[in-house]
Structure formats: structure tokens, C-alpha cells
Amino acid sequence: MNGTLLPNTPIAVDFWQIRKCSHVRLFFLSHMHSDHTMGLSSTWKNPLYCSAVTARILKYKLQVKSKWVNPLEIGVCHSLPLDDCGVETVAVTLIDANHCPGSVMFLFEGYFGTVLYTGDFRYDPRMLACSPLRNLKIDVLYLDNTNCDPEQRLPSREEATEQIKELIKKHPCHDVVIGLYSIGKESLLVDLAKTFRCWIVVSPQRLELLTLLELEDVFSVSSSDGRIRVVEQFEVKCSNMMNWNSIHPTIAILPTSRKVKVWHKDIHVVPYSDHSSYDELIEFVSRLKPSSIIPVVKRKQCISHFQQYMSSQEAARCIEIPDSVRSYMRSRKASSKANTLKLKVSPRQIPRGVEYESIETNLECMDLNETANDSEMIQLKEDFNTDGCNSSLSCETASVPPTESTALGSDTNDNPFSSPTSTICEVSKDVFEMPSAISSPMNVTVISDSSISGEETGQNISLSLSVSSDRTRNDSLSLVPWKKRKKLDSGYFHRQVERYFERSPL
């Protein structure tokens, strides 16, 4: 990820890790390439500043809400507050970076000195001729060092464009596929369309973006409109080349300065780059003479190449942060920490099964004056005692609150308490087990393990409940599948032993 937090300031450029920049007030976006927008999404809720073109792309691609996006005019000095009271400000000037549509450099001037953040840029001598950078002392230069390699020689974009045109002219009967990223090199496509007087075929998604950029009308989505078409760079590979050539002779062009391995004879890499070449970087630094340089691409340390061109003045100096800015950054950090502490993770909710409240409890807790009259209560108790239920059920069970239930399956062939017509339900004060079948609205069958509810507790209440003889219905309503219940009963092991001796000859 490319981006930075300006030290001793509430300013961030191309940096969107909100947890690491809780003190930041001003966020800036140089351009819309993905390595500069990591962490930026539709959920962003802080004011950010960028060019007008980048603002349109940002709202289109990432769906960032308009109220957070503040477009700034290029070449104009803007004054922005660094605190809540408006005492301290920073002067920001946007300079065209000559990289991709909407890309800019940021020139910051404030109590911290003068800082130039290039972002990604392709150097042009006219950059230093403009008023913001003319004869300006730069304290810190954040430099795009993508092509900072003295062994890599890159042509100008005009020279690379001519190489691409020559390739197309050498293959007059071939279709031409150009692999590009989602944004960038649009000027190359316009140049090719004018040179060969044909439409440039693009995808509908790319056409929407090109329309948003208000470019010349040389693009089409119909494949029959032209022989030059644009695809995503990753689509240019050997398998696709074979498919394209099976339909019509095709060549592919990759306009990039990156080192790309080519596995097909019809794929051509042309060093067309939107980043400054090594020679251009040397010229830029030698003319600007900054006091210090910080590479934008942090994995490439190339300061040694520019030491002789930097200013001889002392770069390191003590920066005194204004009280209003210091207070603002502290309050933001404290607020962020407080919000973090409030975010308590709720404990994992463990399923507790199904808890059934005793019907007797319901009868005792029911308010006779509000819910039912005496005759209704008598009828309800009579319904509960019907179908062979023992009306002498003790009310001790109702006083025991239900606990976490455990389903214990049983095989009706081996459980002596199971029969087609009746079931013995043993309910312990300490263990209230999950019903495994329901035969009717008022007839409940509870399959219980006698070793748990009988032998361990010693306090059992026997209740005979009338049960439907329809075994299929009871099995289908069981909380434990039938195949798994068979393996839970005590006779499963004995049946397996008997089967083993029956199959094995003595």
C-alpha cells in the first residue's frame, strides 16, 4: 500500500487505515489506482480532498457518499483548518501529476514547513515552470520511485506510442488486443483511434468510466465496430491468445514498464509507462533540490541515487506543534480510544436446546381474574387429565425450573420402558429432559434414561401418559434422527456382537 501520515500533523495522504490515524483531520487522495485506495470504501465517513475528476471516479467506483468528498481546483492555493477553532491552517495546492485521469501532486505549506507529495507522476519540465514550485524551497519530498533503477531505460510516452503504432501497422490483417488496468493510458487509446481511424472496442463497464471522464467519442462496445479492443491486463495470457487466434489472427500488446514474462509469440510488451523514468527522476530532484526525500514505494530504497542533488541545508529541524493542533489530535485519539472500549464483544451464544415449561406451572401462574373464569380452569384441568393420564401427579415438578435439555434417544425394541401403548415418564427434580416425540396437543411422550433420572437422583415421579400407537409419526417428530437413536441405546453393542458371531464361522 502506498500512502503516508505526515509526521506531527493531522494530515494523511492516500492512507485509509482509520485505526492508525485517529488523530487525522484532513485526508487527501492523489488518484484512483487501487494501491492508493486500499481501505477506502463506501463506508468511509470522514471528509477527504482530491481533484474534481478523481471525485467523480471515487463516487462511481467505490460509492463513497458525496458529503464526504471535497473536490479541489488544480493550481489554486486552498486554505484548510487543522483544528476545530480555525486558529491554525494549512495551504494546499494541487498540481497535475501527468499520470492518469485526475491524478495530482499535493504541495503542503504550514507550521511543519513545505512538503511536496508527488504520488504517482510522470515528470514533465513544465511542472517546475508553474508558479507553485518555481524557486520554492522543499523541506520534504515524497517521491514516486517506481522506476528508480539506473539499469532500466525507458522511452518517453510519445516514443512508446510510436512503437505500438508500428506493431499494428506490421499486422494489418490481425485483430489487436491491448491489455490495460481499469484506469490509465486513455490518451494512448484516443491517439490510436485517430491514427487508424477506427473505433476502440471496450467493455460496457469501461465505457461508463470513459464517459464519466468526458473523453473524445472514439469508444464502442460492439465488437464489429473495430479491430482494436481493450481488455483487462490479466486477460492477456497464453490460453486466451489461443482462443482468440482460433477465431481470427490476433496480436496482444501490453503497454507497461513492468517486467512481464511472455509465453506466446503474439504477445508484445512495449515500455509505455505513466511513471517517471530514472533519468527524469534525476532531473526532477536536481532542479527541485529538496532537503530530504522519502520514497512513496517504501520497499524500494533509492535515496543514495539523489544524495548529490539534494540541498546542503540542514534538513532536520524541531517542529513545534501549535497548541490548538496538539489539543485537537489528543482529543481525537482519546475519543477513538473511548469508542473502542465501548465496543464490547458479546459472549458467544451457546444453543441451549428447547426448554419446556410445565403445564402445571402455567396453570398455577395463570391469573384467574384476567385470563379465564373458574369453569374454564376446571375444563382445562380435566382436559389435561384425560386419555389415561394419572390425575394424582404431584405438583413438586412444577416448582423445578427447566434446565438445559439433553435428548436421549432410545430403541423401542430394547428399552423396557417403551411400548406401543404407553410410556413411563420419569422426571427428576434436577434433570428435566427434552421431549423426543409429541403425539397430540395434550399427550406428551418424554423418552428418558432411567439410569440418569432414576438411579442417580432417587427422587422420581412416575406418570403414565397415553401415547398414539403410530410409531412412524413419533419417530418423524423425534429431535434425534432414528438412525442415530438406535446407536444410543444399551442393546446396540450386544446386537453387534451377535451379528459378528453369526457371520463368523466357528
Give me the pLDDT at residue 288, please. 93
Q: Has residue 371 been placed in a domain?
A: no
Q: What domain range includes position 494?
A: 401-500
Domain identity same for 141 and 13: yes
Domain identity same for 40 and 187: no
Domain identity same for 41 and 132: yes
Q: Has residue 364 been placed in a domain?
A: no
Domain identity same for 25 and 100: yes
Domain identity same for 143 and 8: yes
Q: Has residue 223 been placed in a domain?
A: yes
Domain identity same for 258 and 191: yes
- The C-alpha atoms of residue 32 and residue 209 are separated, in whole angstroms, by 12
- The C-alpha atoms of residue 154 and residue 351 are separated, in whole angstroms, by 64
Q: Has residue 369 been placed in a domain?
A: no
**Is 108 in contact with 78 (CB distance < 8 Å)?**
no
Domain identity same for 142 and 226: no
Tell me the CATH number at 74: 3.60.15.10
Q: Has residue 344 been placed in a domain?
A: no
**Total-model pTM:** 0.66
Q: Which element (helix H / strand E) includes 437?
A: strand 437-438
Give me the pLDDT at residue 311, please. 82
Is the CA virtual torsion 169, 175, 180, 186 positive or negative? positive
Within 10 angstroms of residue 159's Cβ, the number of other Cβ atoms is 12
- The C-alpha atoms of residue 336 and residue 351 are separated, in whole angstroms, by 34
Q: Which element (helix H / strand E) includes 109?
A: strand 104-110
Listed residues 221, 241, 270: the one ending a domain: 270
Domain identity same for 139 and 212: no
**Is 73 in contact with 93 (CB distance < 8 Å)?**
no
Listed residues 337, 363, 385: the one ending a domain: 337
| Tens place of pLDDT per residue across the chain (506 aa) | 678 999 999 999 999 998 888 899 999 999 999 889 998 999 999 999 999 999 999 999 999 999 999 999 999 999 999 988 888 999 999 999 999 999 999 999 999 999 999 999 999 999 988 778 888 899 999 999 999 989 888 999 999 999 999 999 999 999 999 999 989 999 999 999 999 999 999 999 999 999 999 889 999 999 888 899 999 999 999 999 999 999 999 999 999 998 888 889 999 999 999 999 999 999 999 999 999 999 998 877 788 889 888 887 655 567 889 889 998 888 877 776 666 555 544 455 545 454 444 444 444 444 444 444 444 444 544 444 444 444 433 333 444 333 333 333 334 344 433 444 433 334 344 443 444 333 334 444 444 443 333 334 444 444 444 444 444 444 445 555 555 555 566 677 777 777 777 776 65
Give me the pLDDT at residue 316, please. 53
Q: Which element (helix H / strand E) includes 439?
A: none
- The C-alpha atoms of residue 248 and residue 174 are separated, in whole angstroms, by 7
Q: CA-based angle 470:475:480, to the nearest 5?
A: 160
Concatenate the DSSP letters of all residues of 183-222 into one string: SS-HHHHHHHHHHHT-PEE--HHHHHHHHHTT--S-EES-
Give me the pLDDT at residue 506, please. 53
Domain identity same for 317 and 223: no
Listed residues 270, 297, 326: the one ending a domain: 270
Domain identity same for 129 and 185: no
Q: Has residue 376 been placed in a domain?
A: no
Beta bridge partners of 51: 72
Domain identity same for 258 and 286: no
Q: Has residue 396 been placed in a domain?
A: no
Q: How many structural domains does the chain have?
A: 3
Q: Has residue 372 been placed in a domain?
A: no
Domain identity same for 145 and 286: yes
